[in-house]
Chains A and B, each alone.
Chain A
Amino acid sequence: SYELTQPPSVSVSPGQTATITCSGDPLPNQFAYWYQLRAGQAPILVIYKDTERPSGIPERFSGSSSVTTVTLTITGVQAEDEADYYCQTTDISGTYWVFGGGTKLTVL
Chain B
Amino acid sequence: QVQLVESGGGVVQPGRSLRLSCAAPGIILRNYGMHWVRQAPGKGLEWVAVISDDGTKKYYGDSVKGRFTISRDNSKNTLHLQMNSLRADDTAVYFCAKGHCLNSNCDFGMDVWGKGTIVTVSS
Instruction: Write the residues of chain A forming the contact surface with B, with a CB cutoff of 8 angstroms.
Output: 1, 30-31, 33, 35, 37, 40-45, 48-49, 54, 84, 86, 88-90, 94-102
Q: Is the CB of B44 within 8 A of A94?
A: no
Docked pose: A6 CA to B119 CA in angstroms: 27
Number of interface residues of B (CB under 8 A): 24
Docked pose: A13 CA to B101 CA in angstroms: 35
A33-B110, A35-B45, A42-B3 known; A97+B115 contact, CB < 8 A? no
Q: Mark B33-61, 1 if CB is under 8 A from A, else 0.
A: 00101000000111100100000000101
Instruction: Write the residues of chain B forming the contact surface with A, with a CB cutoff of 8 angstroms.
Output: 3-4, 35, 37, 44-47, 50, 59, 61-62, 95, 97, 100, 107-111, 113-116
Tell me which residues across on chain A come within 8 A of B110, comparing CB atoms: 33, 35, 43, 45, 88
Q: Is the CB of B95 within 8 A of A30?
A: no
Q: Is the CB of A40 within 8 A of B115?
A: yes
Tell me which residues across on chain B come within 8 A of A89, comparing CB atoms: 108
Across the two chains, which residue of chain A brings its CB closest to B45? A99
Q: Is the CB of A48 within 8 A of B59?
A: no
Known: A33-B109, A42-B4. 17 other contacts (CB 8 A): A1-B62, A33-B100, A33-B107, A35-B45, A42-B3, A42-B95, A42-B113, A43-B37, A45-B111, A54-B111, A86-B44, A88-B45, A88-B110, A90-B108, A96-B59, A99-B37, A99-B47
